[in-house]
């Protein structure tokens, strides 16, 4: 048998249950297909709808609009309407809550870069 099956578990039963619950909560907020991608773009300074759509070139306007509404409902972005400008400008700015995702996004990006060949089958 491979040695992997004889290794000591990484987490106790209590830790496992606690981590599963915490990850389920996190994925409820950021687990959508586009959520992390949209947040990366917003955290990188792309705050206007058309700019976001250009940056995320394969997202449709309908899906982006829906994602932005969900992000706002979940407290990850704040929609700022600049009515004094003509035409009216809308910015989607990151909240302090969303800034806490930076380390998570960095870890995901590092993991993806490290395992890119395996993930893409090359």
CB-based burial label for 39 (10 Å; 0-12, 13-18, 19+): buried
User: Is there a cis peptide before residue 87, judged by omega within 30 degrees of 0?
Assistant: yes
Express each pLDDT in 68-78 by its tens digit. Answer: 999 999 999 99
Tokens of 90: 């809308």
Packed helices 35-43 and 61-73: angle between N→C axes, nearest 10 degrees: 80
What digits encode the pLDDT tens for the residues 86-110? 899 999 999 999 999 999 999 999 9
Report the predicted TM-score, pTM, of the whole model to 2 decimal places: 0.85
Please tell me the distance from the alpha carbon of residue 62 to that of residue 14, in angstroms, as a whole number: 42
**CATH class of the domain at 11-96:** mainly alpha
């Amino acid at each position: 048998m491979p040695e992997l099956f004889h290794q000591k578990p990484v987490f106790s039963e209590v830790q496992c249950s606690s981590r599963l619950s915490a990850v389920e909560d996190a994925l409820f907020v950021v687990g959508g297909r586009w959520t992390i991608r949209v947040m990366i773009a917003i955290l990188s300074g792309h705050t206007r709808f058309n700019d976001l759509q250009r940056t995320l070139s394969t997202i449709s306007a309908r899906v982006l609009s829906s994602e932005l509404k969900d992000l706002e409902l979940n407290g990850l972005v704040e929609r700022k309407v600049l009515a004094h400008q003509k035409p009216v400008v809308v910015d989607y700015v990151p909240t302090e809550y969303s800034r806490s995702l930076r380390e998570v996004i960095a870890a995901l990006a590092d993991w993806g870069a490290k395992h890119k060949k395996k993930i893409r089958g090359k």
